[in-house]
Amino acid sequence: MRIATRYAATLAAAAIALTACSSDAGDQAEDAAENTAEVNTDAEFEAGTTMAELNEAGSITIGTKFDQPGFGLLNPNTNTPEGFDVEIGKLIAAELGIEADDIEWTETVSANRESFIQNGNVNLVVATYTINDTRKQLVDFAGPYYEAGQDIMVAEGNPEGIEGPEDLAGKNVCSVEGSTPAENIRTNYPEAQLTLFDVYSKCADALRNGQVDAVTTDNVILTGLVEGGQGAFELVGNPFTEEPYGIGLALGDTEFRNWINDVLEEAFEDGRWADAWDRTAGAITGQEAPEPPSVDRY
């Protein structure tokens, strides 16, 4: 399994801190390493399709995040990412006839997901990637494969008394550049003072150090950061948006998008999707796999 990263050293250190916080996190990492999707060795595709090209190449490049426990977190012991997004990527690769060891994982942060797809740096992006109409002008989406909601993380004990987005007025709030949550705060809660980084682990550090009053992004991402915070953080627990996560791919590749949607629906039905959740994000959140969403056949 190959890996490309611009922040490997920093994120490896973050991963050590996050995964060392409990034996459950260690068990999650071990399970994720041992369980990969069964490869479809009989996969055949129509010539000229993206599926046929990837199958013939025997490899795929997938963009994901490296700093989000439960969805995409770099394991410093194996130097590979682990989490629900990673397992979804493995599942798609397996149906293309591609082994997990032949996936090249490339770190994608919120600000570069569209450009990485457009420039051909990656074949797919599976990275807590909210589907919205603005992004659909730049890339296509398969899915959604999960639906989250924006929430707020605060210091343990909630010293600022933040109960929802309306309480962010005058507060220093951290999110990441290019993310839907950051744009939501900028547009709908302009009295909040935004501090933006490239990855959420830096927001967590800023909250721990008292540089910001709160961190906002999707609830499942924040839950992972709370779990890894060793008691430093808590979740407000008041989601105020709907965030459907999709798989980003090149604009106009309708055959590939429809094929991925077929794969997702099969995984919803046969239990592979729920199993991937239970071994990754579910192990951190303590929540059983929810009902899967309906894919959007736009």
Q: Which domains does the chain have, with CATH numbers?
A: 2-148+243-285 (3.40.190.10), 150-235 (3.40.190.10)
Please give the DSSP secondary-structure letter assigned to residue 268. H
Report the distance separating Cα 267 and Cα 91, nearest Å. 8
pTM comes to 0.84
Report the distance separating Cα 118 and Cα 250, nearest Å. 6
Identify the weakest region by mean pLDDT among 30-34, 92-96, 99-103, 239-243.
Answer: 30-34
Task: Provide, rounded to the nearest whole percent, the portion of the chain with pLDDT above 90.
Answer: 84
Based on the number of CB atoms within 10 Å of its own CB, is 180 exposed (0-12), middle (13-18) or buried (19 or more)? Answer: buried
Which pLDDT band holds residue 5 (cuts at 50, 70, 90)?
A: very low
60-118 pLDDT per residue, tens: 999 999 998 899 999 999 999 999 999 999 999 999 999 999 999 999 999 999 999 99
Q: Which residues, listed in sequence order, are joined to residue 243 by a DSSP beta bridge?
A: 148
Q: Is the pLDDT of residue 284 over 70?
A: yes
- What was the pLDDT predicted at 285? 83
For residues 127-143, b (16+ Cβ closer than 10 Å) or e, as one string?
A: bbbbbeeebeeebbbbb
As a whole number of Å, the end-to-end CA separation of the chain is 33
Report the distance separating Cα 293 and Cα 192, nearest Å. 32
- What was the pLDDT predicted at 119? 98
